[in-house]
Amino acid sequence: MTGRLDEGRLREQAASRHPALYADIARGWIAALPGATARIRAADAGDLPAALHELRSGAVHVGLPALAAGLAALEQRAEGGGSPAPAELDAVLDLAARSADDLARWWSSAEAAPGG
């Protein structure tokens, strides 16, 4: 697709005994993204690392390594007392939105495939 997805991990999830569970987790993460984005944008310096971590941990679980890496970099900087530049924050949140779209398409395709 785009390189934003860990397709190996997603294929394993889709081939598991409970693919609907993984699809539902992914859709839950996608549905929660607007709220997570709002929390990140509204967070003060003390709350920003936790807000970034929350989104990052979900991104890892649903198979979005590029997003997880981008969030980790901002999270580490925020934990060290630094503040991400607005453009950096915008870029990673845009990546989150594009990754969510890719993830939704991936699961829709996987479920539509024979045996899915």
- Exposed (0-12), middle (13-18) or buried (19+): which is 116, by Cβ within 10 Å? middle
pLDDT in tens, the chain (116 residues): 468 999 999 999 999 999 999 999 999 999 999 999 999 999 999 999 999 999 999 999 999 999 999 999 999 999 999 989 999 999 999 999 999 999 999 999 998 877 65
For residues 104, 107, 108 and 109, what is the CA-based torsion angle, rounded to 10 degrees?
120
In whole angstroms, how far apart are CA 42 and each of 35, 59, 60, 93? 10, 20, 23, 13
- Exposed (0-12), middle (13-18) or buried (19+): which is 2, by Cβ within 10 Å? exposed
Which two tokens mark 23?
């699809």
Question: Tokens 């190996």 identify what position?
Answer: 8
pTM: 0.92
Fold classified for 18-111 = Four Helix Bundle (Hemerythrin (Met), subunit A) (1.20.120)
- Per-domain boundaries in the chain: 18-111
pLDDT score recorded for residue 111? 87
Chain centroid to Cα 19, Å, comes to 19
pLDDT score recorded for residue 2? 62
pLDDT score recorded for residue 113? 76
pLDDT score recorded for residue 116? 59
